[in-house]
Chains A and B, each alone.
Chain A
């Protein structure tokens, strides 16, 4: 993990703040294209509010489909930020430095994207506030805190708030640097206000270090709880295929799997787009790939637990649900695609060093993982609902419509725009953290070998 950064501190600052301080033409082109895609999606959403949910493929009893799958998917993506940032901070892994901020920002915008979906899905979006907030005092409409659908917004709100504040605290030194480099009065003023006068005193650096550890330790339990609570939306019901106590850790580890894969994808894109070759090296994706092997293997174990304990009680509805998931019609094709994409293709490839250190192959495999994980959530949710009722005349099959597919695809643009906008205003890598890494990096001479080393207090 030891490719040292070969540029000096001044060049580090210049490269990391380059995109913040000046705006290349491609930024406008990219923003425009992404905004267009997002506008299409939002247009469809507005249309849904006007026309109603009948434009989606819902049919009794399948009322949770693409939008809920996408909700779970984006919550999953959001888990990577904290996983990488908090856990690697706590373990003092040096290779975390270039990766943490992009992962955290991905968390924030993924969460925001995820939060939109239940709101769209409800049809009457303005009434979803009843879920979470004591809204209508006059009619006595209070949220029901016993419902997992109320636990969800409390967990997501807590996670989102904590992540934003975590990012802000870690951003303070970089805001101070941006203040010092701002080319105009308006930006100088804005960064001055945001940085709150951070000067880099010994005390302030010490508190930064302690705060990073403390907030990491606080956010980790929140990150585990969020997707566990999302999993309980399904597990506490009696829908076939959903009632399994393993859902909470299964969802969390699946989230980490898809989230870390997404982070790798994003890092490779950032490296290419922002020319960060000095900071994102093959060592970083190699380390992330090794992490992914462990995570993917654990996820596969949980998948097997879900499968085995789903069939364990030999209840006919559970057996039927699994049979349909794996062996019936289109579901069987999706099952094959999902297991190939999420595990069978990428994980054996990652066992090879050459693949782990190839930006192109890592980019491809991590996208495959997320395709597979999206299908996994789809297969988790819909087949059970198709046979939810005991009455055979209420059996149903789900077929997605163009509008649902369009919303799902257009929502990819939302975190992308968020990331791009963030990178325009703030450095996408923690400059102070990277500079610290440069300061503490050293070598040990043992015989004729120079062994990379780190200084610790």
Chain B
């Protein structure tokens, strides 16, 4: 078993170890570059917003970018939920780093509204709402996403309170609204119990809402707009590949934290061992879900479905698909089956980079053809396939700019909220010890109920 980093055992309980937020050097070249790109992202967004409102073709690449964010950044907090649900110590140093991605996830909403505004009415095309009124898909989509993001914010807020709340003596002096923001935290037994229960419930809801949001968004922006495309496994494919990408984003973040921050002394190969296994599992799930879809369409040979596959995989967006195949499956699979890659954080991060590159191309090949389809109300009658829609300069700048915006939002969050969950690290220090056993050494892991 790979042992935790030694720093995890030496945590001070008196005074209690409280990690501080990272200091972001705004004058650093990388931060400056991100800032510049972020401005480009905002400018290209404004160009689309004011110059192409309601134009589905113009919002194709932004829609793909939105799905990239939903499938990576918004999924990262699930790692925190998973490691808490399984009571795994391995996830400890990565939990807050994963939860902080909720802040950049809020950017998804800025893309969602204009994308939804481009969608044609439901009548006359296949849809998941069965032509139900009540403003579908706009109202339920916007509502579902809002609830999803608010749940994530609540999760981050609740888990951060013990780390950011001032001591009771200072808390008393704050105005009432600020005391409420800190949940009047004083660390009583009852408060700890309530906090844990809230984190469990919010985490479970976050997972369920994520799956639901992926299902409706991937269908409304994907399948519903491309005639002939009908796949029950597609929402599952998007959800699971999202989890794979969320892990990738978290791995890159903790690898950067290890390299550039003093808090990195708590991060090591122990995280890689477990995250690597899950990453291998989700990589296999990618090919499994893809194959379930592709093989069935190939075998049954229904013309509409075959045409959809020809657009998304085999002919029109083949190049994009191949990059996605290599990035999200072949490279990670070949890398992760070897222990020396899977069990080392600094090697795992390159697999994570491959996954994220693959994700971008994957979402482009899935959602750009849908958003640019000529006639969502049509049925495939055996005519010619549409040509690929390549990104123009504005689209490329948009994608790069929004990646930068995500990074900037994350850095802002990390400069406000500590990137380690101090209270859980202190608890773990009580429950984990190295001890001699006969002539060897073992790690003793406490498992309280």
A94 partner residues in chain B, CB cutoff 8 A: 447
In the complex the two chains form, is B130's CB within 8 Å of A311's CB? yes
Across the interface, do A249 and B292 meet the contact criterion of CB distance under 8 Å? yes
- Which chain A residues numbered 317 to 335 have a C-beta less than 8 Å away from chain B? none
Q: Do B431 and A451 touch across chains, with their CB atoms under 8 A apart?
A: yes
- Please indicate the chain B residues that have their CB under 8 angstroms from the CB of A305 in the complex: 215, 232-233, 235-236
Minimum CB distance partner of A451 in chain B: B446
Q: Is the CB of A312 within 8 A of B126?
A: yes
Of B293, B302, B447, the residue contacting A454 (CB under 8 A) is B447
- The 8 A CB mask of A303-318 against B (1 = contact, 0 = none) is 0011011111110000
Chain A hits for B289, CB < 8 A: 249
Please give me the residue from chain B that is nearest to A92 by CB atom: B1
* Most chain A CB inside 10 Å of its own CB: which residue of B292, B437, B442, B444: B292
The answer to whether A107 has its CB under 8 Å from any CB of chain B is no
Q: In whole angstroms, what is the CA distance A1 to B223 when docked? A: 44
Interface pair A90/B448, CB less than 8 Å apart: no
A245's contact among B128, B130, B293, B435, by CB below 8 Å, is which? B293
Q: Residue-by-residue, is B418-449 near A (CB-CB < 8 Å gives 1, otherwise 0)?
A: 00000000000011010101001011111111
Contact (Cβ within 8 A) B446 A452 = yes
Which of chain B's residues 280-316 have a Cβ closer than 8 Å to chain A? 284, 288-289, 292-293, 295-297, 299-300, 302
Is the CB of B318 closer than 8 A to any CB of chain A? no
Which A residues between 208 and 227 are near B, CB-CB below 8 angstroms? 221, 224
Check if A243 is an interface residue, CB within 8 A of chain B.
yes
- Whether the Cβ atoms of A312 and B447 lie closer than 8 Å is no
Residue B234 CB within 8 A of the other chain:
yes
A20 touches B (CB below 8 Å): no
On whether the beta carbons of B128 and A308 are closer than 8 Å, the reply is yes
Question: Does A232 belong to the interface (CB within 8 Å)?
Answer: yes
Contact between A245 and B126, CB atoms less than 8 A apart: no
Q: What are some 10 contacts across the A-B interface (CB < 8 A)?
A: A245-B293, A247-B232, A249-B292, A313-B230, A446-B446, A451-B448, A455-B435, A455-B437, A455-B442, A456-B445
**Contact call B443/A455, Cβ cutoff below 8 A:** yes
**Residue of B127, B130, B284, B445 most packed against chain A (CB within 10 A):** B445
Contact B447 A1, beta carbon cutoff 8 Å: yes
**Complex CA–CA separation, A2 to B431 (angstroms):** 15
B357: interface (CB < 8 Å): no
| Contacts known (A1-B449, A446-B446, A456-B442); A245 close to B288, Cβ less than 8 A | no
Q: Is B347 an interface residue (CB 8 A)?
A: no
A90-B277 contact in complex given A221-B284, A238-B300, A245-B232, C-beta closer than 8 Å:
yes
Contact residues in A for B295 (Cβ distance below 8 Å): 232, 236
- Listed residue (A221, A246, A247) with the most chain B CB atoms within 10 angstroms of its CB: A246
Closest to B295 in A: A232
B128 / chain A contacts, CB cutoff of 8 Å: 308, 312
Binary B-proximity of A370-410 (CB < 8 A = 1, otherwise 0)? 00000000000000000000000000000000000000000
**Cα distance A281–B234 in the bound complex, in angstroms:** 41
A113 contacts chain B at the CB level, 8 A cutoff? no
- A1-B447, A2-B449, A312-B128 as given contacts; A232 in contact with B296, CB under 8 Å: yes
Which bracket fits the contact residues of B? 35 or more
Contact of B211 with A by CB under 8 A: yes
Report the number of A-B residue pairs with Cβ-Cβ less than 8 Å. Answer: 116
Residues of the B chain whose Cβ atoms lie less than 8 Å from the Cβ of A311: 130
Interface flags for A78-91 (1: CB within 8 Å of B; 0: not) read 00000000000011
Report which B residues bind A (CB closer than 8 A): 1, 86, 126-128, 130, 211, 215, 219, 223, 230-236, 277, 284, 288-289, 292-293, 295-297, 299-300, 302, 430-431, 433, 435, 437, 440, 442-449
State whether B231 touches A245 (Cβ < 8 A).
yes
Chain A neighbourhood of B234, CB < 8 A: 245
A75 close to B (CB within 8 Å): no
User: When A309-B232, A457-B1 are in contact, do A248 and B446 touch as well, CB less than 8 Å?
Assistant: no
Complex: how many Å from CA A79 to CA B221?
36
Complex CA distance for A245 and B232, rounded to whole angstroms: 5
Interchain CB contact under 8 A, A454 and B230: no
Interface string of A434-446 (1 = CB under 8 A from B): 0000001010101
Please tell me if the beta carbons of B446 and A444 are within 8 angstroms of each other in the complex: yes
A263 to nearest B CB, angstroms? 20
Q: A13 at interface (Cβ–Cβ under 8 A)?
A: no
Q: Provide the bound-state CA to CA distance between A379 and B383, in Å.
A: 38
A235 interfacial by beta-carbon distance below 8 Å: yes
Do A455 and B288 have beta carbons less than 8 Å apart? no
Contacts of A455 in B (CB 8 A): 435, 437, 442-445
Contact B230–A309 (Cβ < 8 Å): yes
CB distance from B92 to the nearest CB of A (A): 15
In the bound complex, CA of A454 to CA of B437 (Å) = 12
A366 at the A/B interface (Cβ < 8 Å)?
Answer: no
Q: Give bound CA distance, A243 to B298, whole Å.
A: 12
- Complex: how many Å from CA A457 to CA B296? 46
Chain B residues with CB under 8 Å of A454's CB are: 444-445, 447
Give Cα distance in the complex from A402 to B127, angstroms. 44
Contact of A249 among B211, B236, B296, B431 (CB under 8 A): B236
Give complex CA distance A409, B211 in Å. 39
In the bound complex, CA of A11 to CA of B389 (Å): 72
The interface centre, meaning the residue of B219, B233, B297, B300 with most chain A CB atoms within 10 A of its CB, is: B233
Alpha-carbon separation in the docked complex, A2 to B230 (Å): 47
A244 and B302 CA atoms in complex are apart in Å by: 12
Contact A453 B444 (CB under 8 A): yes
